[in-house]
Amino acid sequence: MQVNVIKSDQHVTIRLQGRFDFNTHRDFRAAVDSALQESSNQIQMDLGGVDYLDSSALGMLLMLRDKAIAVNKTVSLMNCHGSVRQVLDIANFGKLFAIS
């Protein structure tokens, strides 16, 4: 999986491409740490390039949310389509994140 952190004045976007699973936890964690250090208070997770995610990916998203809340930042999930959106819906992530 590829992980890119894109910074702007309004928000920080973490863009993922490929499989989002346990094997990517180190790269994801590094991106989260980078995003949390930025001054903007909104983090967007761009999942448009993700073709697969598993339960460990859901756990990583929850970890991001918890860390963001601790420093008064919000997290939204964007470009969620197909099976990725289905998994998020089944897990009721719409109650925890703004999803588009």
Residues 18-37 have a mean pLDDT of: 95
Q: What is the pLDDT of residues 44-74, one digit of tens each?
A: 999 999 999 999 999 999 999 999 999 999 9
E-assigned strand segments in 1-100:
2-7, 12-20, 42-53, 74-78, 98-99
Q: pLDDT > 70: what percent of the chain?
A: 100
Full set of structural domains in the chain with CATH? 2-99 (3.30.750.24)
d(CA 87, CA 93): 9
- Tens of pLDDT along 68-92? 999 999 999 999 999 999 999 999 9
Pairing of strands 12-20, 2-7: antiparallel
Record the pTM.
0.94
In this structure, the number of other CB atoms found within 10 A of the CB of residue 66 comes to: 10
Buried b (16+ CB within 10 A) or exposed e, 67-97: bbeeeebebebebbeeebbebbeeeebeeeb
**pLDDT confidence of residue 66:** 97
Supply the pLDDT for residue 9. 83
